[in-house]
Chain A
Amino acid sequence: MVTLRVRADRDVCIGAGMCVLTAEEVFDQDDEGVVVVLMPEPGAGRAEAVGRAVAACPSGALSLEGDQPPVR
């Protein structure tokens, strides 16, 4: 089984905070509001929430590698 990995492009992030609202254990914002990935390999149990966070991200800063959970 492929491990689910989350990537965040901090140059693209606009600090909307949707990922934090969707999957708080996995994402945070630094003092500038820019995304920080707390858990780069969030595990299958969080795959659904992480998938929603990636789909909801307004700037397209988030991406997934590995097993793709359903979006939205």
Chain B
Amino acid sequence: MSEAPVLPLHMRRDGFDPVPELSALREGEGVRRVTTPLGLEAWLVTRFADVREVLGDSERFSNVLHRAVRVPGMEGYTEEELARLRAGNMLACDPPEHTRLRRMLTPEFTVRRMRALEPRVRRIVADHLDAMERGGPPADLVSAFALPVPSLVICELLGVPHTDRGDFQRRTSRMLDLSLSFQERTQAQRESREYMAGLVARAAADPGDDLLGMLVREHGDDLSADELAGIGSLLLLAGHETTANMLALGTLALLRHPVQMALLRKEPERIEAAVEELLRWLSIVHSGAFKVTTTDVEIAGVRIPEGEAVVCVLPAANRDPGLVPDPDRLDITRGGLGHVAFGHGVHHCLGAPLARMELRIAFPALLERFPGLRETGRAPEFRSFHIVYGLNSLEVAW
């Protein structure tokens, strides 16, 4: 593509905040049809109550987008190729198919299982803080802490060699980068699946105690090799891109709100509420998977015909005064679970308990280790074109 890419409206931000146009849309008509720069016509849904309604209704709002909507760039692929790229992707299917896949994974992400992982996560966090401290200031918080901690955690959980991280981090980052063409993103997706297929084959020969080993051992007869590769590929991507950016952007948010940060340092028992508030206020996942209407529907008094794409704008919904008063203010003392940063409905983030646990451990450990943590003069680099919002770099000193 020769033209400079244009950022879709639902992904536009001013630093931490959704752009004023999105807030105005939420306070105004609530729902609007737009042509995304990808060439796809879609309805943006912006209010909290409407977003919950859409995400909570998988019958009228399907995740099987390809059935009704053609994404520009898809023409060059055969139906068989596209089906292989979707196999095992829980975000591209509805119940009962979705239920079948998700039920295999839920035992691995229970609150109890997450508690059992806590000591190992504390160790990983401490090791990275040690290395940061040894290296001395300044340090890039993204590459020294925010990215490697969740990356190592998901690698150990899945059974992915962490020594491969350079390659798979590059690939997952490309899969999510909308400044690249559909072909480039699909190529990265294909490579990711090929890589994961190799790990699945190894797990099939000698299943370990990790998640891939469990899937092969307990569900090997129900899952195709393509599905196994798809599940592994999605979990690897989701496991580090999201938490990494919450850690980096959340730290910057605290540094830019010194009163809030001081309160959290003084009263660390506030961490659970603080994490929920940061999740709400930052809403790093702009929209989650696009939906397609399976029938004529009405949202916020607007009629949307059958077979149209619907995009839930999570940052706008989480800044709705209908959710919390004075929603644009970061206030770590409120911190309810009611936000939609992890989505809602049957596709609610499978890894949410893992993400919460990692964030509840990592933020306090970072603040405790570096009482003088601060930004240097170098401006942090926001990453705008990624499906997951966040920072490419955040230089800090202490």
Contacts and interface: CB of A to CB of B under 8 A. Distances in A.
Interface of A: 14-18, 20-22, 29, 31-34, 52, 55-56, 58-60, 72
Interface in B336-375: 336-338, 342-346, 348-350, 352-353, 356
A56 B337 contact: yes
Nearest to A34: B106
A18 B346 contact: no
A20 B323 CA distance: 22
Nearest to A22: B337
Interface residues of B, number: 26
6 contacts: A14-B348, A17-B111, A31-B107, A32-B106, A58-B342, A72-B323
A49 B353 CA distance: 18
Contact of A29 (B56, B110, B336, B350): B110
A59 B112 contact: no
B13 interface: no
B348 A16 contact: yes
Contacts of A17: 109-111, 352-353
A31 B113 CA distance: 9
Interface of A, secondary structure class, is loop
B102 interface: yes
Most buried by B among A16, A17, A20, A21: A16
A31 B110 CA distance: 8
Contacts of A29: 110-112
A14 B337 contact: no
Nearest to B272: A21
B348 A55 contact: no
A59 to B, nearest CB: 6
Contacts of B103: 15, 32
A68 to B, nearest CB: 16
Interface string B304-327: 000000000000000000010000
Contact of B102 (A14, A21, A55): A14
A52 B334 CA distance: 14
A26 B356 CA distance: 21
Contact of B345 (A18, A20, A58): A58
B348 A59 contact: yes
A42 B108 CA distance: 28
A72 B348 contact: no
Given A14-B348, A29-B112, A55 B106 contact: no
A18 B337 contact: yes
A55 B102 CA distance: 22
Contacts of B343: 58
A59 B106 contact: no
A33 to B, nearest CB: 3
